Structure 1
Amino acid sequence: MLLTLLLAALMLACPPPSAHAVAASGAAPALGAGSWSALSALGPGPGPGAGRAWPVGGRSGLLRRFDAPPERWAAGHRGVDLMAPEGATVRAAAPGVVSFSGMVAGRPVVTVTHPSSGTPPLRTTYLPVTGSVPIGASVAAGEAIGTVSTGTGHCATGCLHWGLLRGKRYLDPLALLGGGQARLLPLDGT
């Protein structure tokens, strides 16, 4: 039980729900050159026929940004939170293989591994999401992989927590959608 709680704290460390309001500022840590080439291997950025897609909602639905912890074990926000009501369809952000679908620390989680992204491969995580695709199934970018569940205590309102990892290192999942180019956009989509 203690190990499960520690694992949950490492994977999902979040401040109290009141801290989920997003400030308009806040830069994500840069990815190394090798990371950008791996992201490029996943295909072009979002758009018709693209190799990447928003998992739910879009830029205007961003509730909380990625906040890398100073140490692997320290508090931080290891992903981004996107507005999503209970039952919303969640889609794979990039092509890959469903490598996990089940409960982690009492929360439903789906993980998609992206084999073409280098070694170790990138993995995207989605929670709280009840999976609809079997483990081992290949998925395309934008393909439905599950639905948002509620009652897990991650956000004060309905949300999808979307993460990106390479090995044990958490990265900013929004980098998947930027194609390696920095863009400053307002959070409200205007």
Structure 2
Amino acid sequence: MIRVHGLYGIGRKRRLKAVCMLILMLALSLAQSISAPSRVCAQSREVNDQQDGAICPSAWDWPLAGPPPITKAFDNPSKPWLPGHRGMDMASHGGEDILAPQAGVLSFSGRVAGKDVVSLRVGALTVSFEPATTSLTPGDKVARRQVFAKVQGTSDHCDGRCLHWGLRKGKRAYLDPAGRIHPHRIVLKP
């Protein structure tokens, strides 16, 4: 007579041994990766070997030749209806080229509340600029670093002395564009 309980016990021991071997292999792999600096970048495989860890280039680029001077930083209000500065202002002059900070699709070009605005759709994000005008039409694809608009038109925001760069996820979640333009260091912490 075969005892089912005894067979189950043998299978269970084999499964436990296999799980232990898998955990040991993962632990060895992790130990090896911790001993050497990480060399993986989100956007690029470029590495600066002069420093500990990998230097990954910024995920996005400045929309103006630069980096331009920041005249007013991002100041997200604690509640959507409170005052704040939902973008970043950069010193600029009329007619200056606007470069796509990241590849996307032109989603809007026109006037909003008397201001000339151009917007790009980059994945789930909406990137907007004012004052800005473009000869492109909504739906046109824009490559990273491509000149797609000019700092011109009307805006009560900067009086012709700056370009406002806004970044939004969804309808009300405003983000700081500056967080996308700085290089990042990637290292594994023990």
- Structure 1 CA distance, aligned partners of 2:180 and 2:158? 23
Residues 59 and 183, structure 2, Cα contact 8 Å, conserved in 1 = no
Question: For structure 1, which segment, 51-60 or 96-105, has the greater mean C-alpha deviation from structure 2 after superposition?
Answer: 51-60
The Cα of 1:151 is off from its aligned counterpart by 4.5
Partner residue of 2:169 out of 166, 169, 182: 166
Q: Show CA shifts across 1:131-188 (max 9, x none).
A: 222110111111112111255221245110001111020000111112556xxxxxxx
The Cα of 1:87 is off from its aligned counterpart by 0.5
- Structure 2 CA distance, aligned partners of 1:176 and 1:149? 24
Partner residue of 2:181 out of 177, 184, 189: 177
% same residue: 36
> Which residue in 2 is equivalent to 1:111?
119
Residues 104 and 122, structure 2, Cα contact 8 Å, conserved in 1 = yes
- Residues 34-49 of structure 1 aligned to structure 2 (within 5 Å): 43=43
Residues 71 and 89, structure 2, Cα contact 8 Å, conserved in 1 = yes
Partner residue of 1:69 out of 63, 77, 87: 77
Q: Show CA shifts across 1:1-58 (max 9, x none).
A: xxxxxxxxxxxxxxxxxxxxxxxxxxxxxxxxxxxxxxx87x45xxxx9863210133
TM-score (norm 1): 0.63
Query: 1:157 and 1:134, CA in 2 relative to 1: closer, same or farther beyond 3 A?
Result: closer
> Which residue in 2 is equivalent to 1:140?
143
- Residues 1-190 of structure 1 aligned to structure 2 (within 5 Å): 43=43, 52-115=60-123, 121-156=124-159, 158-167=161-170, 168-179=172-183
- Structure 1 CA distance, aligned partners of 2:92 and 2:128? 15
SS where residue 109 of structure 2 aligns?
Answer: strand
The alignment's C-alpha RMSD in Å is 2.4
- Structure 1 CA distance, aligned partners of 2:79 and 2:96? 33
The Cα of 1:64 is off from its aligned counterpart by 0.9
Structure 1: runs of 5+ lacking an equivalent = 1-39, 116-120, 182-190
Q: Show CA shifts across 1:94-146 (max 9, x none).
A: 1110011111001111111112xxxxx01111111012221101111111121
Residue type of the alignment partner of 1:149? Q
- Structure 2 CA distance, aligned partners of 1:54 and 1:69? 24
Count of residue pairs the alignment pairs up = 133
Flag the structure with larger Rg.
Answer: 2
The Cα of 1:60 is off from its aligned counterpart by 4.2
Residues 99 and 148, structure 2, Cα contact 8 Å, conserved in 1 = yes
